[in-house]
Amino acid sequence: MTQLKAFNFQKWLDDHKDKLQPPVNNALIWEDADLMCTVVGGPNQRFDYHVDPVEEFFYQMKGNAYLNIMGENGPYKLELKEGDVFLLPPYVPHSPQRPEPGSLCLVIEPKRPEGKHDAFRWYCLSCNHLLHEVQVELKSIVKDLPPLFKAFQENEQLRTCSACGELHPGK
């Protein structure tokens, strides 16, 4: 085993600042660890809800953000103020929103157990009816997600609510 050593996190943030803003907005700290430690930057806005089969730990390091949570009675907002930490239980539909440019959040979650799937859902913005869900055995956020999002964005039938007829903007 090689000798273990720490590194300066602030220097790492400075070295990766180009990835922590649009269009990428995130960077994985370690590629070969059992924990996925990701830094996510703002601004971003998304319409999908992520349903994760594992817990997610959030530490809002800089700026403010919030999670839209889809609850039993519809969506609600969970504020993440600078300095806040939050542990999201598994299988809670959530949509991270980072409206502030330069905001930074550390998100830590275990790699998925073999055979476990993440789900991505889109709900009607008018009546909260589930429009579309896709499940994937997530290996790479960068490679696995863009085709799923593109398929929803480009398909007007998937984006049209069967309950109220509203057309979801897609992105």
- As annotated, the binding site for O2 includes 46
For residues 140 and 146, give the distance between their C-alpha atoms in angstroms, rounded to a whole number.
Answer: 10
CA end-to-end span of the chain: 46
Q: Write down how long the chain is.
A: 171
Distances, alpha carbon 125 to alpha carbons 2, 112, 151, 161, in Å: 52, 30, 18, 9
User: C-alpha dihedral over 31, 33, 35, 41, to 10 degrees?
Assistant: -20
Instruction: At 28, list the tokens.
Output: 């994985």
For residues 132 and 40, give the distance between their C-alpha atoms in angstroms, rounded to a whole number.
Answer: 25
Binding site for substrate, by residue number, is 56, 98, 109
Binding site for Fe cation, by residue number, is 50, 56, 94, 124, 127, 161, 164
Binding site, by residue number, is 46, 50, 56, 94, 98, 109, 124, 127, 161, 164
For residues 138 and 115, give the distance between their C-alpha atoms in angstroms, rounded to a whole number.
Answer: 10
Cα 158 from chain centre: 21
